[in-house]
Amino acid sequence: MVGNDLRQRVRDKSVFIFSLLVPLALMAVLNLSFGGFDTESVELKPAVVVASSEDSGQLGGALLDAVGSLPVMDVTVRRVAAADVSRETKDTGADLGVILPANFTAAVTSGQAVTVQVIEGDSAGLETNVLISVVDGLLEQFTAGTVTAEAGGIAGLPHEALGGLAQQAAAGIPALTLSEGKASAEQLSLKGTLVAGQTGLFLLFTVGFGVLGLLAEREEGTLARLQSTPVAPGTIITAKALVGFILGVVATTILLTAGSALFGVSFGSPAAVALLVLAVGAAATSLTFIVARLVRTAEQANIVQSILAMLLGIAGGAFFPIEASGFLATLMDLNPIAAFIRGLGITAGGGGVAEVAVPVTIMLGFAAAATLASRLVPDRGVRA
């Protein structure tokens, strides 16, 4: 029965259209619409700082020199008179203006309050925010040196040791560091989420072809003849479910492989991904048991299957992430599509078979619960 149904489904072009062509086309459309937001790194543009330092000491010049020598972005510091900083910043389109007071070094070293004025340019963006953070960080380091020296003096430390302690505190950590890293576990890139989400969504449609085969035989009268043959109870429905499971696993594997190649994403360990595919295939197939008992015709099956697929797909993040908290978040975590996407996020981050145990358990638990629930649902097809 399984072999015969698979041959019929392979000859049916609708299987290829709804299981492969439509999801791939939808992935391409979503990628064109949102792919531009999937940036793996942020490039800081060159920035211009208009600054004034009438400080007679060394700290004012040291601060501006540090701003102009940042390793993560190209910064040009233009020094002008204090009265011209605001106008020059606006007129030249500079990113930031900085005004250091004349007593800057004296105030910092003596522990007095000091005010540094910053003026954001008209085209302020990420670069301006970075520069402000750097200036703020440098001021905190200067203050830390002064506080350390004062505290050492109060504690009675030798005078010759205070300078070294203050220098160490002022040096502190760099004002801004840049390091390359990987996304944390359970996080896919935007393109990866699109591929995984659409694959999980259309899996729910694909497994429905097994139910359609069962209902078609019921409507044509061949199901009654099959049931009159000496076959074990449940063999027929098991065979139809197995057809849907095989179609779903094959289509899911093809979509993940094609999506990875077309959109340049990787889902990690093939063994772990295969385990996730089998688990989500089982979870999706379990829904067909419920649908088969709820409906009487193939048309009704299409409607119910589509409703379930869209509800689980949207709630699982097939189109966009869903934020929730409390009981609703716990309920959504039991969604097999959400577990499938989360599992692929784990494998994409380097996780193996052991690391995907939780999402696999959720999907298999969903399959068991749905299968059990189907036994409690009255079979409308039999009564019809």
Sheet holding 47-53, edge to edge: 75-79, 47-53, 96-100, 117-120
Looking at the structure, do residues 159 and 222 belong to the same domain, yes or no? no
End-of-domain residue from the set 137, 171, 205? 171
Looking at the structure, do residues 65 and 32 belong to the same domain, yes or no? no
Q: At what angle do helices 298-315 and 190-206 cross, to 10 degrees?
A: 160
Looking at the structure, do residues 238 and 375 belong to the same domain, yes or no? yes
SS3 337: helix
Which stretches of the chain score pLDDT less than 50?
A: 149, 151-152, 157, 161-176, 183-185, 382-384
Domain of residue 58, residue span: 47-171
Within a domain: 164: yes
Q: At what angle do helices 357-376 and 336-348 cross, to 10 degrees?
A: 160
Residue 77 bridge partners (DSSP): 49
End-of-domain residue from the set 114, 136, 171? 171
How confident is the model at residue 170, as a pLDDT?
43
Within a domain: 176: no
How confident is the model at residue 361, as a pLDDT?
95
Within a domain: 153: yes
Looking at the structure, do residues 213 and 274 belong to the same domain, yes or no? yes
Within a domain: 114: yes
Structural tokens at position 229: 């043959």
How confident is the model at residue 344, as a pLDDT?
92
Give the model confidence (pLDDT) of 109-168 as tens digits. 666 777 888 889 887 788 888 888 888 877 777 666 555 545 445 555 455 544 444 444
Looking at the structure, do residues 82 and 121 belong to the same domain, yes or no? yes
Looking at the structure, do residues 116 and 97 belong to the same domain, yes or no? yes
How confident is the model at residue 168, as a pLDDT?
47
Q: What is the CATH number of the domain that holds 89?
A: 3.40.1710.10
Could you give the number of structural domains in the chain?
Answer: 2
**Residue 3: other Cβ atoms inside 10 A:** 9
Looking at the structure, do residues 203 and 269 belong to the same domain, yes or no? yes
Within a domain: 182: no
How confident is the model at residue 193, as a pLDDT?
85
Residues 6+ apart with CB under 8 A from 171: 141
Torsion of CA 234, 237, 243, 245, to 10 degrees: -80
| CA–CA dist 340, 334 (Å, integer) | 10
Q: Provide the b/e sequence for 196-208 (b: ≥16 CB within 10 Å).
A: bbbbbbbbbbbbb
Structural tokens at position 331: 């309920």
Looking at the structure, do residues 120 and 247 belong to the same domain, yes or no? no
How confident is the model at residue 185, as a pLDDT?
47
Handedness of CA 48, 72, 186, 245 (dihedral sign): positive
**Closest residue by Cα to residue 339 from 204, 192, 190, 196:** 196
Indicate the pTM of the whole model.
0.59
Within a domain: 330: yes
How confident is the model at residue 167, as a pLDDT?
46
Looking at the structure, do residues 165 and 194 belong to the same domain, yes or no? no
How confident is the model at residue 362, as a pLDDT?
95
